[in-house]
Structure 1
């Protein structure tokens, strides 16, 4: 079987890891042939790490003009993901982007239009979808084992970040440099998994603070209430300022509830559905018999390597992607709706007013501290996370 020639744009923290996976031969039927970054220090690192076996480029135009790769991984800053993905797809390259899909849905929607017209394989690095824990919860929900959903709660506050983390880069935690805070940097995986498992909410009401715990201009504490079309409700709580933090997903339905916490999946299973018990029970006080079931989890949590292998397999064999790139808009839609709700202090329906969101975001970009330090809204192709 032939090898797919891979190029990586943005070789900062994540991009360099992906490049090393490829260069070290950890991805079957794939080879690293080119990297691109506008940061000369990162290119020096690539030269030392890969020698003359990999071509180096300092801008995306030269990178694509070289025709040195069949497929491209994009690991740059958030604003550039849709821009570079569009360029890659139009250049005829299979494309895999890092999370998030972008900063605002209008740009991501344009990216998706290009992807849907293309015959290339377009994926996104939602590596948490490879987790057998979350795959099992998704199976329990979709199979009906949990019954009709009633409530979903995700408390994800174990993103603790000290001030020194933010001080490490001038672009960090700025509207112009990063486009958001904990929702856009740390939480894209959870927002994706939340909708992947439970479906998209129909409206959100969000409360957030900006620079509550640290000297930053974006959100670092969020509490959001959501409602679903089928009548269920949900809660999403996240922060970068709590220690110790919590990572707990709870999904309740007519047949019980499932909980993921501390890498364990527990199913509190009702012997009969709650609705059936309520309909037939004639006592004053009572509740359905409940069994605590420790659900066995099988399979490898392949993470980033798993997503890359899955992408390569789709390119070579036409298999279905675990994380299609066009689905990146779903979690971002929830994130954008959360921001818009907090900014306007009201409920926001999904789909929401994308023009209003961009207007509100642009106001913050125009007053961003990163702008005063010479930053650009579109941040070239540097991937120096």
Structure 2
């Protein structure tokens, strides 16, 4: 990084990609600079040429990710050799009477110091990559970025299936680079509050969770807006792999991963396609907690409802209204009170109204910048390695619904790939 600035390349200039580009070049993300962007569509070239950072530097345009990575790989090699030559000149070794020995020492010196040479080059085109492409391409792009020792911020979902997500996690670990996911909804104040209450044991032991979400009504026009949309071949599924990823991530972020999952999915309930547009999932945990999860993209009425029942309190989140009902520990009450029901229970209620705020993408990007500059993943809103969790819930639900069985998690990646191959074959 130069002058405490994270030079960033953006791959993917759809709606979200363009939003990221405009935020960064406008200086809305401190210490982040957009130095490169991949633009494949001719009609977006003029927009790309208009991208200028606050210091006046224009964003370099590449017509493909392959071209971007090739340019940086060549740049790295040039700088490694240049730095090595500079080090040799600075070293100024005495002439050796044994030429063979001298050449061997120089060769070994180059090999042994290649990593050091890499670290000190200061003219990289970019230090980090934001991946905002269709998720079928995420794995290939992330692996290439990690191979070049670049930090990666990936839009949701992490990949097309759990096997690809595992490969991405392994590559990130081997490269020892920062890997983040764009799960910005974790920053919503209402979820921050719920997370704090759970972590502080204000609810007691969690016993039951119910979630219903009909926020994302999707029309035929939407489903046909891209050839890859709403298909197993193009997206790896429907509502769960697309609209459901933020919701599933929030679910596992708050409550952890279940051990077992059972799903009922009426594929193509509202549309003439093979994928899901409505999902009902039952989850169970080893501690006895149960959860129900309903996602639909075909209902007219808007509903976002999350009900969390603990032994000491109940939370009810309806859209942006959080109702907290507190009481004494019900398990202790059941054991000790000499009454038949709630006669001696005492309840207090608190209602918190949350204002609708702009999506917190800037704050998420700021966390990624700090994590990259300090090489500390603790600053990330969501670690990339966590991206597999929402995919695992999605995969478990698809596998359960298609096989008609309860699924133990984690699901085997090869077994899931077999199912996907079957579904893609039937779809075609």
Q: Tell me if both proteins adopt one fold, taking TM over 0.5 as the criterion.
A: yes
Residue 332 of structure 2 corresponds to residue 330 of structure 1 = no
Determine helix, strand or coil for the equivalent of 2:265.
Answer: strand
Q: 2:132 aligns with which of 35, 53, 75?
A: 75
- Give 1:294 shift: 2.3
Higher-RCO chain (CA-CA 8 Å, sequence separation at least 6): 1
**How many residue pairs align between the two structures?**
368
Q: Which runs of 5+ in 2 are unaligned?
A: 73-124
Looking at structure 2, the residues matched to 343 and 368 of structure 1 have their Cα atoms a distance apart, in angstroms, of 14
**Contact kept in structure 2, 1:149 and 1:232, CA below 8 Å:** yes
Higher mean C-alpha displacement, 286-295 vs 37-46: 37-46
Equivalent residue number for residue 23 of structure 2: 21
TM-score, normalising length: structure 2: 0.82
Q: 1:286 aligns with which of 342, 349, 368?
A: 342
Residue 5 of structure 2 corresponds to residue 3 of structure 1 = yes
**Contact kept in structure 2, 1:6 and 1:33, CA below 8 Å:** yes
- Give 1:65 shift: 2.4
Equivalent residue number for residue 294 of structure 2: 237
Equivalent residue number for residue 142 of structure 1: 199
Q: 1:341 aligns with which of 391, 400, 403?
A: 400
**Contact kept in structure 2, 1:12 and 1:42, CA below 8 Å:** no
Equivalent residue number for residue 330 of structure 2: 274
Written as runs of structure 1 = structure 2, the 5 A alignment for 1:163-242 is 163-242=220-299
> Can you list the C-alpha shifts for 1:214-253, whole angstroms capped at 9, x where unaligned?
2232100111111011100000000110011211111111
Higher mean C-alpha displacement, 200-209 vs 260-269: 260-269
Equivalent residue number for residue 116 of structure 2: none
Looking at structure 1, the residues matched to 38 and 279 of structure 2 have their Cα atoms a distance apart, in angstroms, of 35
Equivalent residue number for residue 260 of structure 1: 317
- Give 1:297 shift: 6.7
Looking at structure 2, the residues matched to 352 and 262 of structure 1 have their Cα atoms a distance apart, in angstroms, of 32
Equivalent residue number for residue 68 of structure 2: 63
Alpha-carbon distance change, 367 to 58 in structure 1, aligned in 2, over 3 angstroms: farther
Written as runs of structure 1 = structure 2, the 5 A alignment for 1:365-380 is 365-369=424-428
Larger Rg: 2
> Can you list the C-alpha shifts for 1:156-203, whole angstroms capped at 9, x where unaligned?
111101111112222210111111111011011110111111111011
Higher mean C-alpha displacement, 240-249 vs 286-295: 286-295
Equivalent residue number for residue 42 of structure 1: 44
> Can you list the C-alpha shifts for 1:228-280, whole angstroms capped at 9, x where unaligned?
1110000000011001121111111101211222212221111x100011011
Residue 382 of structure 2 corresponds to residue 316 of structure 1 = no
**Contact kept in structure 2, 1:202 and 1:229, CA below 8 Å:** yes
Please report the RMSD computed on the Cα atoms of aligned residues, expressed in angstroms: 2.0
Alpha-carbon distance change, 133 to 106 in structure 1, aligned in 2, over 3 angstroms: same
Looking at structure 2, the residues matched to 155 and 358 of structure 1 have their Cα atoms a distance apart, in angstroms, of 29
Higher mean C-alpha displacement, 215-224 vs 50-59: 50-59
**Contact kept in structure 2, 1:136 and 1:297, CA below 8 Å:** no
- Give 1:326 shift: 0.6
TM-score, normalising length: structure 1: 0.91
> Can you list the C-alpha shifts for 1:336-371, whole angstroms capped at 9, x where unaligned?
1001001101100101232121111112223445xx
Determine helix, strand or coil for the equivalent of 2:135.
Answer: coil
Looking at structure 2, the residues matched to 82 and 125 of structure 1 have their Cα atoms a distance apart, in angstroms, of 15
Looking at structure 2, the residues matched to 64 and 103 of structure 1 have their Cα atoms a distance apart, in angstroms, of 22
